């Protein structure tokens, strides 16, 4: 059936098996094209065939609509009649041809594993939630579509925005990256929130590897975050309470700023991104994390660096000043090429009044580093923590999950 459609294309309504519809939707998004052009290309390729293809099972086919150039559908229908196949069968074969000639693209692996240092000297700003959310967003299945926030203005991404605002969503394929989350905080919030136990203090740990006291391999300490949407791409290096002693242990280590890099070098090559959840500290621990996030020789600017998590309130601004002072000292003293990946205003809620809204505007006014994400203070994150599940698995379509995907893409 054809109905009129403004412009140079006509709306076509037919039927197509649900599985083919889903594959077409995902594959078109993976190739950055739209469904109507994919179907058009498939039909053109099918019409050029010198013989019929093997029949496709179209039982249970569901309604399917797209747009084709004027007259295109009529010509295709005539070809189906001439070949002795039903219109639905011809359409199914055309879509299948396009899928086979446009296979799913492989995930591009970076030359350098990205090293994202999630930091702020102040506790309670939500560094752990952002660390987990970014890692989950980077690791999501590239053969499935996931809702991502699309907006030119961060203010439009806030939870109080009205339905007729410029806020919009787009379904995009997952990024499919291999991600290692490193719980670098002795309190172990990241470890516990993702449903794992901290490493026993009598065994090996990241601290012991950094101090040169480990007996085994670092790889043996890493655990997977099991959920189908992440495949085997999302892993965790759990915390250990011995990290409370890390500054003391590092004080006697040669080239102590490079201790984290030396420890993680054994596993870094297995991942596309390594994300460090830092403790609220300005000591040697933070020095080691910042050194690990520096730009290496041959690495593109902005590939790695420090992502600063803040809140829309005054004490967060004070802590930000302390952190940036430390980073500037490291840059100067050690001649580090250390990039900021941006600021994330977390746990934002405009209902808290003038302090929240004016503080948000103050963060927005900072141009270097700039705000790369605003994440609302909503119940789904708290619920996910309570049940010890990844947020993007617990509530994949909630506003916070959608915002985490946008943030992951913004800093990629």
Q: Kindly state whether residues 56 and 122 are assigned to the same domain.
A: no
**Cα radius of gyration (the chain):** 25
Q: Kindly state whether residues 97 and 119 are assigned to the same domain.
A: no
What lies within 8 Å, CB to CB, of 342 at 6+ separation is: 307, 308, 369, 370, 371, 372, 373, 410, 411
pTM of the complete model beyond 0.75: yes
End-of-domain residue from the set 49, 77, 101: 101
Q: Kindly state whether residues 269 and 404 are assigned to the same domain.
A: yes
159 falls in which pLDDT band (50, 70, 90)? Answer: very low
End-of-domain residue from the set 66, 101, 136: 101
Q: Kindly state whether residues 60 and 92 are assigned to the same domain.
A: yes
Let me know: does 49 contact 83? Beta carbons within 8 Å.
no
Asked if residue 163 belongs to a domain, the reply is yes
Burial of 92 by CB count in 10 Å (0-12 exposed, 13-18 middle, 19+ buried)? Answer: buried
Q: Kindly state whether residues 123 and 193 are assigned to the same domain.
A: yes
Asked if residue 107 belongs to a domain, the reply is no
Residue 135: the pLDDT is 98
C-alpha span between 309 and 129 (Å, rounded)? 10
Q: Kindly state whether residues 149 and 283 are assigned to the same domain.
A: yes
Asked if residue 302 belongs to a domain, the reply is yes
Q: To the nearest whole percent, how much of the chain has pLDDT over 70?
A: 94
Asked if residue 73 belongs to a domain, the reply is yes
Using one digit for the tens of pLDDT, what is the confidence trace for 186-216? 999 999 999 999 999 999 999 999 999 999 9
152 falls in which pLDDT band (50, 70, 90)? Answer: very low
The closest of 260, 117, 277, 107 to 184, measured between CA atoms, is: 277
- Domain range for 212 is 114-410
Residue 167: the pLDDT is 52
Using one digit for the tens of pLDDT, what is the confidence trace for 268-282? 999 999 999 998 877
Q: Kindly state whether residues 138 and 85 are assigned to the same domain.
A: no
Cβ count within 10 A of residue 17: 21
Let me know: does 204 contact 240? Beta carbons within 8 Å.
no
Residue 7: the pLDDT is 59
Residue 203: the pLDDT is 93
Asked if residue 93 belongs to a domain, the reply is yes
Asked if residue 199 belongs to a domain, the reply is yes
Q: Kindly state whether residues 277 and 346 are assigned to the same domain.
A: yes
DSSP class of residue 145 equals E
Asked if residue 108 belongs to a domain, the reply is no
Q: Kindly state whether residues 21 and 119 are assigned to the same domain.
A: no
Q: Kindly state whether residues 240 and 201 are assigned to the same domain.
A: yes
Using one digit for the tens of pLDDT, what is the confidence trace for 320-377? 888 788 788 888 887 889 999 999 999 888 888 887 888 888 888 888 889 999 998 8
Asked if residue 91 belongs to a domain, the reply is yes
Residue 185 has pLDDT above 80, yes or no: yes
Domain of 380, CATH number, reads: 3.40.50.300
The closest of 219, 217, 215, 281 to 246, measured between CA atoms, is: 281
Using one digit for the tens of pLDDT, what is the confidence trace for 42-96? 999 999 998 889 999 999 999 999 999 999 999 999 999 999 999 999 999 999 9
Residue 151: the pLDDT is 52
Distance set, CA 361 to CA 89, 354, 366, 367, 387 (Å) = 57, 10, 9, 12, 34
Residue 157 has pLDDT above 70, yes or no: no
Domain total in the chain: 2
Residue 173: the pLDDT is 94
Q: To the nearest whole percent, how much of the chain has pLDDT over 90?
A: 65
Residue 122 has pLDDT above 70, yes or no: yes
Q: Kindly state whether residues 77 and 124 are assigned to the same domain.
A: no
End-of-domain residue from the set 101, 129, 145: 101
Q: Kindly state whether residues 191 and 278 are assigned to the same domain.
A: yes
């Amino acid at each position: 059936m054809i109905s009129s459609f403004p412009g140079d294309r006509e709306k076509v309504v037919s039927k197509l098996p649900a599985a083919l519809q889903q594959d077409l939707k995902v594959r078109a998004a993976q190739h950055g094209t739209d469904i109507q052009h994919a179907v058009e290309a498939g039909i053109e390729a099918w019409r050029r065939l010198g013989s019929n293809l093997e029949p496709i099972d179209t039982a249970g086919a569901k309604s399917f609509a797209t747009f084709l150039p004027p007259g295109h559908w009529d010509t295709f229908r005539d070809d189906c009649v001439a070949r002795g196949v039903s219109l639905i069968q011809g359409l199914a074969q055309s879509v299948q041809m396009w899928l086979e000639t446009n296979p799913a693209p492989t995930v591009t692996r970076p030359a350098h594993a990205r090293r994202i240092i999630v930091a702020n000297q102040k506790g309670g700003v939500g560094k752990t939630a952002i660390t987990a959310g970014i890692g989950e967003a980077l690791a999501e299945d590239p053969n499935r579509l996931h809702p991502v926030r699309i907006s030119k203005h961060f203010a439009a991404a806030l939870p109080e925005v009205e339905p007729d605002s410029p806020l919009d969503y787009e379904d995009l394929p997952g990024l499919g990256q291999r991600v290692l989350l490193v719980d670098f905080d002795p309190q172990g919030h990241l470890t516990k929130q993702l449903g794992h136990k901290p490493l026993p203090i009598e065994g090996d740990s990241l601290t012991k590897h950094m101090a040169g006291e480990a007996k085994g391999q670092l790889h043996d300490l890493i655990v997977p975050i099991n959920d189908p949407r992440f495949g085997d791409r999302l892993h965790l290096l759990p915390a250990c309470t011995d990290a409370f002693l890390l500054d003391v242990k590092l004080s006697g280590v040669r080239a102590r700023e490079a201790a984290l890099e030396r420890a993680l070098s054994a596993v870094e090559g297995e991942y596309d991104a390594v994300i460090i959840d830092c403790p609220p500290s300005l000591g040697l621990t933070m020095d080691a994390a910042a050194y690990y996030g520096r730009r290496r020789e041959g690495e593109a600017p902005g590939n790695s660096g420090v992502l600063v998590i803040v809140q829309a309130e005054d004490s967060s601004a004070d802590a930000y000043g302390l952190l940036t002072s430390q980073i500037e000292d490291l840059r100067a003293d050690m001649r580090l090429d250390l990039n900021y990946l941006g600021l994330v205003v977390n746990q934002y809620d405009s209902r808290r009044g003038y302090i929240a809204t004016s503080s948000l505007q103050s963060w927005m006014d900072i141009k270097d580093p700039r705000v790369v994400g605003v994440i609302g203070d909503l119940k789904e994150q708290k619920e996910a923590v309570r049940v010890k599940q990844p947020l993007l698995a617990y509530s994949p379509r909630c506003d916070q999950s959608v915002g985490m995907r946008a943030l992951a893409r913004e800093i990629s």
